[in-house]
Amino acid sequence: MKKLYWQKSGENITLQDAINSVYRKNSQYLDSAIGLIYSPEKCCFVKIDGENIEEPPKEPKEKNMDIASVFEARIFTKNLELRWLNVKNGEGKAVLISDAELDSCLEIPSESSEVLTTQEQYYLLWGEGTQNFSNTGNTWSKLISSRIGSLYVPYNEYKKRCYLKTREYFEEDKYGNISVSEERLISLETKNGNREPKSY
């Protein structure tokens, strides 16, 4: 049996405070983290640098994203995922999940549950990388699809397809049914032909 660990915040925490709390308790937890951010204006990837949220390059005439307007965020590394959900006026609740025991980063003590097994999944992002862009020292690539539009992703290769890697956790209920109880984001990866994926 494997275990899935998690810990939660209280009800009134901002996205920035959730990031700060995790980073200050263990700075390695969010090292080279990537975030998937949802706001009324757009859904986009961001980079987490310490306590700072780095937005992707902007299109002409596009405004900076208002962090206070974000209603959901999923920030991930290969080891853990920090989720945040806005409840009211930019405050909400956060949860940290991992395959390993967690330092005390959020308000409520850690809990765990047993899982039967895990399975890796890959979701193909629409579009192919077309160009690299430098943004505050980090490199982004722009995925473009004629039907979908464009999306910036934080990796430094272009003319390749990008995948979002996840891990599914399977549990058995009291009737013997097996189902996916959780899915954690792990990394962005690129593939070119039959080459092995490269993680970011």
Q: Which of 25, 170, 29 is nearest to 104 (CA)?
A: 25
- Both 88 and 126 in a single domain? no
The residue out of 98, 115, 132 marking a domain boundary is: 115
- Both 87 and 148 in a single domain? no
d(CA 94, CA 30): 15
- Both 105 and 29 in a single domain? yes
Q: What pLDDT digit, counting tens, does each position of 61-104 carry?
A: 777 778 888 999 999 999 999 999 999 989 999 999 999 999 99
If DSSP codes are grouped into helix, strand and coil, which group holds residue 77?
coil
Which pTM value belongs to this model?
A: 0.88
- Structure confidence at residue 121 (pLDDT): 94
Q: Per residue in 107-130, is it b (16+ CB within 10 Å) or e — as a string? A: eeebeeeebeebeeeeeebebebe
128: CATH: 2.40.50
N-terminal to C-terminal alpha carbon distance within the chain? 29
The residue out of 115, 138, 167 marking a domain boundary is: 115
- Structure confidence at residue 147 (pLDDT): 74
- Structure confidence at residue 199 (pLDDT): 56
- Both 20 and 107 in a single domain? yes
In the beta sheet, which residues pair with residue 183?
168
Alpha-helix residue ranges (DSSP H) falling in the chain: 15-25
Q: Which residue has the tokens 């970011």?
A: 200
d(CA 85, CA 73): 7
Task: List the structure tokens of 26.
Answer: 């263990």
Between residues 118 and 155, the one the model is more confident about:
118
* DSSP code of residue 61: T
Assess whether pLDDT exceeds 60 at residue 198. no
Between residues 2 and 135, the one the model is more confident about:
2
Domain with 134 in it? 119-199
- Both 137 and 193 in a single domain? yes
- Structure confidence at residue 137 (pLDDT): 56
- Structure confidence at residue 196 (pLDDT): 52
Q: What pLDDT digit, counting tens, does each position of 127-179 carry?
A: 777 766 655 556 888 888 777 778 889 887 666 788 999 999 999 888 888 99
Please tell me the total count of domains within the chain.
Answer: 2
Q: What pLDDT digit, counting tens, does each position of 17-62 carry?
A: 999 999 999 999 999 899 999 998 888 999 998 899 988 887 777 7
